């Protein structure tokens, strides 16, 4: 892409060294957005418009805009944008989220949460393809939007 990605966006929590993330998922959402932009899925102006729309909708519903919900809006904008671009669907994203919720519910506190085939939807349907696509050599989870499914 030709357009440069700014190091900090208006409203984004940051300090002198760059973006500040309160939880790992925030950093992952940030990294996935940059990776998808760099791969050409969307332009930075499209991203800024999607994020602004998500924040405006939240504010219209009463979000106090204190910065603590910024990455929830970020993730919501990313989900909508990748669905609009045809990289996935909102239905597929919801099913992946439900699979992770099932994995979380069965995992004892303090242990890593691993997505397994038993977390798939009821009726023995397989997990959506993007939940189970393995990473290519040299790729990391933060560099692509794919889910790593552990075998049972």
* C-beta of residue 39 within 8 angstroms of C-beta of residue 28: no
Q: 3-class DSSP state for residue 74?
A: helix
Same domain, 94 and 136: yes
Same domain, 72 and 107: no
* C-beta of residue 67 within 8 angstroms of C-beta of residue 45: no
Residue 139 counted as domain residue:
yes
Residue-wise pLDDT tens digits, 61-95: 999 888 889 999 999 999 999 999 999 888 888 88
pLDDT value of residue 9: 60
The number of distinct structural domains making up the chain is 2
Task: Report the range out of 31-35, 98-102, 122-126, 130-134 with the highest average pLDDT.
Answer: 31-35
**Cα–Cα nearest to 98, from 77, 116, 119:** 119
Domain that holds residue 34: 22-84
Buried b (16+ CB within 10 A) or exposed e, 120-142: beeeeeebbebbbeeeeeeeeee
Residue that wins the pLDDT comparison between 150 and 133: 133
pLDDT value of residue 7: 52
Instruction: Give the side-chain half-sphere CA count within 13 A for 82.
Output: 24
Q: What is the DSSP letter of 141?
A: G
Q: What is the mean pLDDT of the chain?
A: 76
Same domain, 39 and 63: yes
Domain boundary at 38, 59, 84, which? 84
pLDDT value of residue 123: 47
């Amino acid at each position: 892409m030709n357009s440069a990605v700014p190091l900090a966006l208006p409203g984004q929590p940051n300090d002198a060294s760059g973006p500040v993330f309160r939880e790992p998922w925030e950093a992952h959402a940030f990294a996935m957005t940059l990776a998808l932009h760099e791969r050409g899925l969307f332009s930075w102006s499209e991203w800024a418009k999607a994020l602004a729309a998500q924040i405006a909708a939240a504010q219209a519903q009463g979000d106090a805009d204190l910065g603590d919900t910024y990455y929830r809006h970020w993730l919501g904008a990313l989900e909508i944008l990748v669905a609009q671009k045809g990289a996935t669907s909102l239905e597929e994203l919801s099913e992946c989220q439900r699979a992770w919720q099932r994995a979380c519910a069965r995992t004892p506190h303090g242990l890593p949460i691993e997505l397994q085939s038993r977390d798939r939807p009821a009726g023995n349907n397989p997990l959506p393809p993007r939940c189970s696509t393995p990473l290519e050599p040299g790729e990391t989870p933060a560099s692509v939007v794919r889910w790593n499914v552990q075998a049972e």
